[in-house]
Structure 1
């Protein structure tokens, strides 16, 4: 299987053996059987829908021609962008919170690692590597700096997180977030430095 999309190609190259025969794309990999092909085609499509530049292109098309002179008009554009970002994360994380396994869309939040307002560009705001798809409780804890994540995806509770909240989150038995990219890790380091409220001494 070959892929030309840079993000998809990087994912394929990281997860499958390289094909000894050169292909037309940026990465060509070997798949063991039809089942692997089916899974990989599904994953490839989701990545292509979620990775740059797809969300940015969709956002720019949706807001083309919309006025942005008043605060109310800018909020409309921001809401459209946040919806596109959520769509991207739903594709990227396959509609599942990696911490809880919850798949109910109404209970999932598109969590920015670096907040929307702190991003310098729309490309950064809409980058799936700047987001985690978390259940509402995990999202609230992450946004408040009561939980952070190590580079390997392990959750870190803040000293300010109460035992009751830690129990509700399931911190003690929580597994690391799988499949974090270098882009995720770089932004999680910023979150730990600027948002996280610190570990117990």
Structure 2
């Protein structure tokens, strides 16, 4: 077994010694259905396999003990994001599930994980780019006013995706008054090379107004681990006045955000 970027790579996982009973299987089916996996359950060996009409990714659940489960992800991006957000122990492997989490303990945790995984899968289908193309495909873009209209369409789609990814909460302060929250690009819209970058959910943070102003202006940034960085150009005496808290950190950062955060630190952050 070897480890790369915090993930283990193995050829196979040992089979689960535990067999599903009707009651436990019904409970897990109910959790998956509530989360949005609305296509009928199938079985693959000891795995319960769940699908949704809203996204192509599959998710599997295997019971390990009376109170613990393995969860398999058909999509590496979703598996990696979930592992980092929920502190899952995962292995990457070939076969039915490219990524498997093995430390899902307790039905309540499984229930939460299924809901969050379904939400991430909806985001990761990259429907945003398709929606943008569908809405703006026939729009003229020969004048600045026309380009601004197209940009507003894209930003509205982008905002909806960020609200879903960050579950309607500021990525830093956890403020959950959605109308107040700002959809902030990490790599600015105008600096993106493609519409795919502009609409990439990992190129955005849902932020409270004061955090958005500081981040957009380059007064603060974040490390790849989500740790707050404060520009030395912002006097310490101004921290309280602008509502800055040195304990701020990003709540659900993944390595997919890394490229964009690196751009922000290099090109937007005022640094030293």
* TM-score > 0.5, shorter chain as reference: yes
Aligned-residue RMSD, C-alpha: 2.5
Decide which of 245, 252, 266 is 1:171's aligned counterpart.
245
Q: How far 1:37 sits from its partner (Å)?
A: 2.4
Say whether the 8 Å CA contact 1:51–1:88 is kept in structure 2: no
Gaps of 5+ in 1: none
The question of 1:33 aligning with 2:124 is answered no
Give the 3 Å change call, closer, same or farther, for CA 60–25 of structure 1 in structure 2.
farther
Q: Using CA pairs below 8 Å that are at least 6 residues apart, which structure has the higher relative contact order?
A: 1
**Contact 1:92–1:128 at 8 Å: present in 2 too?**
yes
Q: Say if 1:158 and 1:29 are closer, same or farther in 2 by CA, change over 3 A.
A: closer
Deviations along 1:69-128, whole A, 9 cap, x unmatched? 333222221111111111111111111113211111122111111100000001101111
Q: In the aligned structure 2, how far is the partner of 1:96 from the partner of 1:177?
A: 11
The residue number in structure 1 matching 2:171 is 98
Query: How many positions carry a matched residue from both structures?
Result: 198
Structure 1 position 111 matched with structure 2 position 181: no
Larger radius of gyration: 2
Q: Distance in 2 between matches of 1:54 and 1:37?
A: 26
Between stretches 120-129 and 153-162, larger displacement belongs to: 153-162
Task: Structure 2: give runs of 5+ residues left out of the alignment.
Answer: 1-59, 61-71
Larger strand fraction of residues: 2
1:84 is paired with a residue whose SS is helix
What is the match of residue 53 of structure 1? 126
What do residues 21-51 of structure 1 show as CA deviations (whole Å, max 9, x unaligned)?
x874433434333312221121112212223
Cα pair distance change 1:17/1:23, threshold 3 Å:
farther
Q: Do residues 16 (structure 1) and 88 (structure 2) align?
A: yes
